[in-house]
Each structure stands twice: as structure tokens, then as C-alpha cells.
Amino acid sequence: MDKYYLTTPIYYVNAAPHIGHTYTTIAGDVIKRYKQMQGFDVVLTTGTDEHGIKIQRSAEKAGQTPEAFTTAVANEFSATWRKFGFALDHEQRTTDPKHAANVQRLFKDCLANGYIYKGSYTGYYSVVNEAFVPDAKEGDVDPETGQPLEKITEENYFFKLSAFREKLIALHENNPDFLQPETRRNEVLAFLKQDLADLSITRTTIRWGIPVPDEPGHVFYVWFDALMAYHTAVVEQGRWPADLHLIGKEIVRFHAVYWPAFLMAAGWELPKKIFAHGWLLFDNNKMSKSRGNIVRPEPIRQAMGADALRYYLLREIVFGADGNFAYDAMVTRYNADLANGLGNLASRTLSMIQQYRGGVIPALPAEATLPLATNIANATAAAIDAYEKFEFSKGLEAIWQLIGAADKYIVEQAPWKLFKAKEEDKLNEVLYSIADALRAATLLAAPVLPESTAKIWRLLGYATPLTAERFGQLEAGQLPAGQAIPPVEPVFPRLEMQPTIDKMNELEEIEKARQDLLLGKTPEPVTPADPGGIPLASQITIDDFVKVDLRVGQVKFAEKVKGSDKLLHMKIDIGEAEPRTIVAGISQVYDPESMLGRKVVIVANLAPRKLKGIESHGMIVAASTADGKPTVAGFLEDVPIGARLK
């Protein structure tokens, strides 16, 4: 059996896993499952990059040792991947002693071959990016993050990167598939055709790193350390070199320039292929911890299921290009393609077999043809070609064309009419054909939708696991006749848009708070309790207070929000051209009639937020009593509408 080894990036532990990490890991999991269904013996590894000054400082800020901090975050990655059911074979931590020994071995081989020398370096260092910034001067900031640069002078060991410029150019020019997509390859070639400076690979100003052999006080720079995790993960099993490194485009230079140069210098084998996907964008900005716009995967899994996220990311976004992420687009895609597409085909087909044939797959009549055979063949060829090229969106489109053809065939043949007319042979042909198309679509979609396709496979009556099937044997007419199917169960129940988004937003807040605690972030300190026993928030300045625009408003309209026992939908006049729409969680205490004409205080400059599909433009000020019930703030005197509280 042929072997295949692929990797995700080695994820940096300055943050808990977010959807960007999940995106790459989903892609790796899909490729592994596909290659297994092609008959390969596949190993998929991931890991965590745990050294460097940024980690050391994050641990100090959290009041933890670097060892405790990195272990907590590495465990968080592992727990997330388990919840998503990823088929990972090994998670390599860079704090593993075996990894340290392997990095030191790489250093010794590069040193013995004359590609490492000792020197000193003075420059401006970006702590966030773990790198010196070329041509920076006093007062400059990191061009990506805006954070101040630190001037550092230290003794280092340097790697002779300049010696590999021509070899690296030849690597990329003579092997166009080594780095994909083409845009990334062109960027790297443009970089290589400039002068290459030698690379500092050790530090003496930090302690949290792998020690350099025979050099007290030196530790390895993060990239000379981290990249070796791909090698460490499988070297004892004789799996190196990697067939594929999956990475994000922001770390292309480290993988396509530094990594092959290190390996060339040591005389070790190079990986066979690197594929760099694009960024996930949220509100057209790259998701990142520094921007505070990251989305966490666990709330989506809880609200919609792991397969929903897998399908959306790989169907909606061309792998290799940037793509926008949005909750509403994900729910729309789920309902259109999964609930109304694959799920509906499974439900219709299996329900008709239960109703018309007693839950047994009918035999194809002797003279019958397979009207969907061409559709199955076309979908199979297109999907396999797309999987091979990592064009997941195209592959899923081809599979859903098969699903569409089966749906159209059902409408054209109207099995319910055939049953009523007692056209038994034709009904058997139709039922077998659509069930066979469902079988083929289920097989083809299995790498992307492992949980739901396994369920459909069982509902088709198979006792053997779907993972035991092989794409090379996929052709029309292989569904066993006479196979009994179990009672039909829904696979992708439809989701209501706003309640699903609200649920994900609520779960996101909970998950963010949990992860903040994991990373050592504690709530702001509070002052001692007031005489009423309710803790006061931490102190603010007058500058903080004047940012909040509090206005007097009068309620002109009020009604309960459908589907909620807490929310009240109101129109409140604050002296603007039109009354404000505001949704408040007060309906358990105040009925709509009691609020009409009442003067209230609202926060007028609060960013809009949707609640149960209604966009609220402000917030009513209310006191929270001991039992948790709100008491709306009001006035004893007559106060004009629109007056600002000071």
C-alpha cells in the first residue's frame, strides 16, 4: 500500500484555536480521508509551536510558567480537534524533548556542512512576529500590527541563507508544483530574485527555547525550531519526507524559502509539496487575535454541527484564495445545499422505499437501464479530479449536480404516481436509480461530510463502514438489491436564520470568556461592595463617561417580540426625525401597554445589534435588582425629549 504523509501548520500557542486554525485542519482531514478512500496508507499530523519571547511574555502576563501556559493552550487545541472528530495521527509539540534533540541534530548537520557561523546583530525586533524588521529605525512600529519595535543587540548564530539563493530559485522554477497555488510561487520567486540576507537562528536575550548545543545562553530562534516539528512527528516511523504541507499564505516564506534551505544545508530530503491557502475574512478584514475579530469553531459546532462548518468553508471559499466568513451565509448555504439538497434527497428516497417497498431496496428489472449512470460517472470523475487538485468547491459543485439530477429525475418520474398506477417494474427502476445516485453522492461527499454521510450510509442499509469504501470502485449499479433499510431519520433538519445566529453569538461570548480564563485573562478588578451589597464596577475617568450618550426618550410604540418571553420591541422618540427602534429584555416585568408614553433613558450611541431579527438602535437603562428583574430608569420631573444626561 502506498504511503502518504501530510501536515497542518504548527499552530502558535499565543491564542486558543479559532476558525482560521480549524479551516486548515479541516482541509487536512478532508485530504486524508480522500487519500484513504483512494487506497493510501495516510498519516496526518498537526502540532503546536510553543517557544519564543512572545510566549514567554504571554505566560508572565497570565501569571503562569511558560510550561504551564503552553500545556494549557496545547491541550485546548487537542480538545477542539477531538470534538470535531479530525482523523489526526500525531500532535507534535515543540516542547517535546524528542523534538529538541531533532532540532539540535539539524543544527549540527548544517554546522558541519559549513552553513552556520557565529556573529552579532543589532536591529529592531517585532515581538509579535518573532522577527527583525529590515531597514527599521528608532521610533518605527511593526508595519502589520502597529506595535513598537524593540532595539536588540546580541550575539547570534547565523544561517547562510544567501548561499542557497540559486538553489532555491531552481527548486521553484524546475518544480512548479512544489509550491501552489501559482500566485504564491510567483511571490516567492520574486523574493528570491532579490539579495538574500543571512538569517539569525539563535537568541541570547531570551530563555524560553531549545538550547543550542555547547553554547550556554543561546536558544534557537522560533522558525529553526518550529519547522522541524514536521520532521520530528514521523522520523521514528520512517515517514519523512512529507508529501504535503498545508499552510496559510502568511507563512509561505518560512516554508518555501527557509525550510528547504535548512534541509538542503543539512543534506536531508525536502518535502514534496506545499499548498498555501488564503485568509478567512470577517467584515472584509483578516481574522486575527490582534484585531479582535476572530470566530471560534466550537459555538458553530454546537449550533449547526461540524459538517455544516466543513461544508460551508470548502464550498463557499475557493481553496487558495481569500474568502469571507459570515454567519448568515453559512446558515443560507446549510439550508440550500444540505437541508434542501443532500438531506432532502436522502429523506425522499428512503421514505419512498419504506412506503412503497417495505423498507427493502428493490431489484433493478432485467430490461431496465440506469438513467442516472452518466450523471454518476461525470460526478465521480469531476470530484476525484477536484480532490486531487484541492479544488474542493468545484468537487462539491459536481457532487451537488448529481444530487440535482436525481431530484429532477424524481419529479419527472413521479414515483407516487407509478405506485398508484401499480407500474411495479418502472417503480422499481426509479427507486433503485435514485437510491443508487444517493449512494454515489454519499460516497463522493464522505471526505467533506464524514458524520452525515456515515449516517446516510447506515440508513441505506449498509453494515460495513463507509470509510472501508474505495473511490476506484465507484460506478453506477453497485447498490445491493434486497438490502433492508432502517427507519428514516432526518440528516440535516432546516435551521431558522436568526435564532441560529443568535445562538452562535451567545455561545461565542461564552466560549470567549472561557478561553480568556484559559489564557490567564481575568476580569477587571471591582471596588468593594456598596451598602446595598452589589459590587461596583472598576473606576472610570470623566473621559470614559462622556463617551456614553444618554438621552431622554418617550415610548411611542411597544409590542412583545414573537418567539421570545423576554424581549419587548419599542419605538422611542428622542427628538430625531424618526423614532428609534429598540429591543429590550423587559417584557417579563413590563407589558407593552404600561410602556406607552413613558419617558425612559436610552444609550443613544450604542452600535446596532440584531435581536430575533430586529435591529436595535440603542439600549434602555434599567436597574438590576437582587432577583434579576429589571427596573426601568425614569424621572420625577418633566424632562424634554432628547435631553442629554450629564
Are residues 204 and 339 part of one domain? no
Asked whether residue 624 carries a pLDDT value surpassing 70, the answer given is no
Q: Which pLDDT band, with edges at 50, 70 and 90, does 573 fall under?
A: very high
Give the CATH number of the domain where residue 579 resides. Answer: 2.40.50.140
Domain-embedded: residue 536: no
Region label for 480, one of left (φ > 0), alpha (ψ between -120 and 50) or beta (otherwise): beta
Which DSSP string corresponds to 214-259? T-TT-EE-HHHHHTTHHHHHHHTTT-PSPSEEEEEGGGHHIIIIIH
Asked whether residue 446 carries a pLDDT value surpassing 70, the answer given is yes
Q: Which pLDDT band, with edges at 50, 70 and 90, does 368 fall under?
A: confident
Distance CA 605, CA 302 (A): 33
Structural domain range at position 577: 542-632
Q: Residue 211 is placed in which grid cell?
A: 538550547
Are residues 215 and 132 part of one domain? yes
Q: What's the pLDDT score for residue 291?
A: 63
Domain-embedded: residue 288: no
The predicted-structure confidence for 79-136, as pLDDT tens digits, reads as follows: 999 999 999 999 999 999 999 999 999 999 999 999 999 998 787 888 776 667 767 8
Domain boundary among 446, 473, 500: 473
Domain-embedded: residue 111: yes
Are residues 459 and 383 part of one domain? yes
Are residues 76 and 10 part of one domain? yes
Q: Which pLDDT band, with edges at 50, 70 and 90, does 540 fall under?
A: low
Domain-embedded: residue 599: yes
Q: What's the pLDDT score for residue 135?
A: 74
Q: What's the pLDDT score for residue 529?
A: 39
Residue 210's nearest CA partner among 13, 228, 218 is 218
Are residues 54 and 156 part of one domain? yes
Distance CA 507, CA 160 (A): 49
Asked whether residue 581 carries a pLDDT value surpassing 90, the answer given is yes
CB 246 within 8 A of CB 179: no
Q: What is the mean predicted confidence (pLDDT) over 328-337?
A: 96
Asked whether residue 77 carries a pLDDT value surpassing 60, the answer given is yes
Are residues 391 and 262 part of one domain? no
CA contacts within 13 A on the Cβ side of 119: 12
The predicted-structure confidence for 230-286, as pLDDT tens digits, reads as follows: 999 999 999 999 999 999 999 999 999 999 999 999 999 999 999 999 998 876 666
Q: What's the pLDDT score for residue 292?
A: 62
Per-residue b or e along 245-257, where b marks 16 or more CB atoms closer than 10 Å to that residue's CB = bbbbbbbbbbbbb
Are residues 344 and 235 part of one domain? no
Q: What is the mean predicted confidence (pLDDT) over 185-194?
A: 95
Q: What is the mean predicted confidence (pLDDT) over 577-585?
A: 91
Q: What's the pLDDT score for residue 611?
A: 81
Give the CATH number of the domain where residue 84 resides. Answer: 3.40.50.620
Q: What's the pLDDT score for residue 288?
A: 63
CB 309 within 8 A of CB 330: yes
User: pTM for the full model?
Assistant: 0.78
Distance CA 205, CA 199 (A): 17
Domain boundary among 437, 455, 473: 473
Q: Do you know the residue count of the chain? A: 646
Provide the domain count of the chain.
3
Domain-embedded: residue 458: yes
Domain boundary among 429, 456, 473: 473
Place of cell 427596573: 631
Are residues 351 and 221 part of one domain? no
Are residues 381 and 447 part of one domain? yes
Domain-embedded: residue 271: yes
Residue 355's nearest CA partner among 490, 491, 489, 487 is 487
Domain-embedded: residue 95: yes
Give the CATH number of the domain where residue 332 resides. Answer: 1.10.730.10
- Which of 252-256, 333-337, 545-549 shows the lowest mean pLDDT across its residues? 545-549
Find which of 142-156, 407-421, 469-483, 606-620 is predicted with most confidence, using mean pLDDT.
407-421
631 or 462, greater pLDDT: 462
Q: Which pLDDT band, with edges at 50, 70 and 90, does 62 fall under?
A: confident
Dihedral angle, C-alpha 222, 22, 176, 3, nearest 10 °: 90
Q: What is the mean predicted confidence (pLDDT) over 472-493?
A: 92
Are residues 345 and 270 part of one domain? no
3-state secondary structure 538-573: CCCCHHHHHCCCEEEEEEEEEEECCCCCCCEEEEEE
Domain-embedded: residue 301: no
Are residues 333 and 270 part of one domain? no
Q: What's the pLDDT score for residue 134?
A: 67
Distance CA 589, CA 391 (A): 55
The predicted-structure confidence for 490-539, as pLDDT tens digits, reads as follows: 999 999 999 999 999 999 988 888 888 877 765 444 344 343 444 444 45
Q: What percent of the chain has pLDDT over 70?
A: 93
Q: What's the pLDDT score for residue 604?
A: 92
Average pLDDT, whole number, for the chain? 90
Are residues 235 and 372 part of one domain? no
